[in-house]
Amino acid sequence: MKIWAADCSFPGGRRENEDAVRYGKVGGSFLALAADGLGGHGGGGEASRLAVRSFWEGFERRPKITEENLFCLMEEINAKILRRQTETQKMRTTFVGLLCDGSRLASVHVGDSRLYWFRDGSLAFRTLDHSVSQMAALAGEIYEVFVE
């Protein structure tokens, strides 16, 4: 299997870009990870870098694509970020990851960073946000519009 990966990130009108991205092979698996620190809470850049680094290192220690392992890795990230918070720096980040070992494909995500899968020129799958607007769309209170 051949995998090509690239990334592009912009600070979105802020002085500091709080995004963190890493992709490559870990053992027999390919990982693509991205996190977007929340700028209004202080420490967003640190939180996003910590999330990506922690997931990568955790997967190096336990390179298994199982629901249990991925859940544990996400819990570990959350605990590390919470331990670094202070009264004035409530670090927050979104996170999305794609993992592939050649026969299985898995994704993890928290927040409003999304994973899209395009197949044969069409959108085949996307993760749903953990956001107020996504919950309102799911409840039928607002409507999503897709333009092709």
121 CB-side CA count, 13 A: 1
Token pair 């090509």 is found at 4
Predicted TM-score of the model (pTM): 0.82
pLDDT-derived band at 74, boundaries 50, 70, 90: very high
- pLDDT score at 88: 83
Residues for the chain: how many in total?
A: 148
Mean pLDDT of the chain: 86
d(CA 122, CA 101): 24
The edge-to-edge listing of strands for the beta sheet with 19-26 is: 19-26, 29-37, 93-100, 105-110
Q: How many CB atoms within 10 Å of residue 36? A: 25
d(CA 146, CA 148): 7
